[in-house]
Amino acid sequence: WRVPDVSGEEVLQAIRDHVRDPLPVLFTTGRDREEDIVHALKCGADDYLTKPLRRLEFLARVDALLRRARVLARDAEAPIEAGDFSIDTQGRTLMRDGAMVELTQ
């Protein structure tokens, strides 16, 4: 669970430290060891999927997370600000300190 120059755990911690509203976090990664999954969940991730993703399962899990967090669809259009990070769910981009962070598929 790494993006260039920052770990997924660091991104998760920044979200938990700086976002007031409960923001669901779903890890998507190629790491499929049970230890990695348990670690991410214990660190505060709400769900964890390994790649390759199954499209319908991914969408169903996102819907379930949003439903549980009671996130309104109109709120999901605005970028999510978390410390140095800005997450644009519509544009599927992640910015850190104003610079685009390269994400893997």
| Domain-wise residue ranges, the chain | 2-78
Largest CA distance in the chain: 36
Indicate if the pLDDT at residue 49 is higher than 50: yes
Cβ neighbors of 10 (< 8 A, separation 6 or more) are none
Please say whether the beta carbons of 76 and 67 come within 8 A: no
Cα 34 off chain centre by: 19
pLDDT (0 to 100) of residue 67: 81
Find tokens 């644009």 and name the residue: 88
pLDDT (0 to 100) of residue 73: 46
pLDDT (0 to 100) of residue 71: 55
pLDDT (0 to 100) of residue 19: 81
Instruction: Compute the average pLDDT of residues 72-88.
Output: 71
Indicate if the pLDDT at residue 5 is higher than 90: no
Rounded distance between C-alpha atoms, residue 63 and residue 24, angstroms: 10
Instruction: Compute the average pLDDT of residues 26-32.
Output: 93
**Mean confidence (pLDDT) of the chain:** 84
- Smallest CA-to-CA distance from 45 within 78, 15, 2, 85 is with 15
Domain 2-78 belongs in CATH node 3.40.50.2300: yes
Please say whether the beta carbons of 30 and 22 come within 8 A: no
Indicate if the pLDDT at residue 93 is higher than 70: yes
pLDDT (0 to 100) of residue 70: 63
Rounded distance between C-alpha atoms, residue 92 and residue 45, angstroms: 19
Indicate if the pLDDT at residue 23 is higher than 80: yes
Rounded distance between C-alpha atoms, residue 77 and residue 55, angstroms: 21
